[in-house]
Amino acid sequence: MRYVLPLTDPVLATRSICVTLSGLRILDDVSIGIPEGTVTGLIGPNGAGKTTVFNVISGFVKPDSGEIRIDGRKLGHIHPHRLTELGIARTLQGVGLFPSLTALENVILGGSSRVKSGIIAQALAMPWTDTEQADLRERALAIMTELGVESDAARLPGELPYPIQKRVALARALVSDPKILLLDEPAGGISAGDMADLARLIMSWVPKRTVLLVEHHMELVMEVCDLIWVLDAGKVIAAGTPEVVRQDPAVLAAYLGQDGAA
């Protein structure tokens, strides 16, 4: 698929986002668009500002200026705990599971704001008297089965190998049935075989879902992305298809500046 930039009707867009943290300009006029039903990459060297973009989209960081649009509609203040209502879910860089909850309980929490009575205690309360909560539990187990981690449902995250923890974190993001999925380094710390599985999984979600993927593994990015945005030092320095971006001199220079990490 070819994209003519700027995109006319992205499902998710940032417009001129500026962020200052501790007196430092972290994002400088960042405008990116994510076309519906695609896997769109957000890449760049360490410290470029990728996770900060996710934090702005999900309401953890308030930008100095600029806006977020979903389906062309400008969002006001974004409450992180209400993200699922907007049809958005994210995974955290690393894993970010609650260590004292089982894998299944962690996954259930990813869908708990869709349960009307969904405060954490109720979402996790046993036995499952409320049908809605029972449905959520069933959905959580179904997603864990889809991701091959159902046999680990009763285990605590600390008992699980890292790649399995990453899958549980993915299941937690998927359980709310998000329209838009933000993945922050899903391939971090996993093997080549697991990465091939991950590529297949990500591609199986589109076009039903739209995926924004932050990732340092270029093989994965180049394989799964329809469109890629490149950040360096808080600014967008390039955008386009994988073929275009991989040959862009500004992108090569940015990665070479990082010890040739491309």
Ligand X SMILES: Nc1ncnc2c1ncn2[C@@H]1O[C@H](COP(=O)(O)OP(=O)(O)OP(=O)(O)O)[C@@H](O)[C@H]1O
Query: Looking at beta carbons only, is 179 or 216 nearer to ligand X?
Result: 216
Q: Is 165 in the site for Mg ion (CB under 5 A)?
A: no
Write the DSSP symbol of residue 150: G
Query: Looking at beta carbons only, is 45 or 118 nearer to ligand X?
Result: 45
Q: Is 52 in the site for Mg ion (CB under 5 A)?
A: no
Binding positions for ligand X, rule: CB under 6 A: 21-22, 24, 26, 44, 46-52, 93
Helix axes 162-174, 131-146, angle to 10 degrees: 130
Query: Looking at beta carbons only, is 53 or 103 nearer to Mg ion?
Result: 53
Which residue among 28, 31, 47, 93 contacts Mg ion (CB under 5 A)? 93
* Min separation Cβ 92 and ligand X, Å: 11
- Please state the three-class secondary structure of 107-135 as a single string: HHHCCHHHCCCCCHHHHHCCCCCCHHHHH
Query: Looking at beta carbons only, is 51 or 91 nearer to Mg ion?
Result: 51
26 interacts with, out of Mg ion, ligand X, none, CB within 5 to 8 A per kind? ligand X
Element (H, E) at 201: helix 192-205
Sheet with 73-74: strands ordered across: 24-34, 12-21, 65-70, 73-74
Place of tokens 């070819």: 2
- Contact present, 109 and 101 (Cβ < 8 Å): yes
Q: Is 14 in the site for Mg ion (CB under 5 A)?
A: no
Which residue among 14, 38, 40, 51 contacts Mg ion (CB under 5 A)? 51
* Min separation Cβ 234 and ligand X, Å: 7
- Calculate the dihedral angle through the C-alpha atoms of 244, 230, 168, 102, rounding to the nearest 10 degrees: 180
* Min separation Cβ 27 and Mg ion, Å: 13
Sheet with 88-91: strands ordered across: 88-91, 180-184, 210-214, 39-43, 227-232, 235-240
Query: Looking at beta carbons only, is 49 or 63 nearer to ligand X?
Result: 49
Binding site for Mg ion (CB under 5 A): 50-51, 93
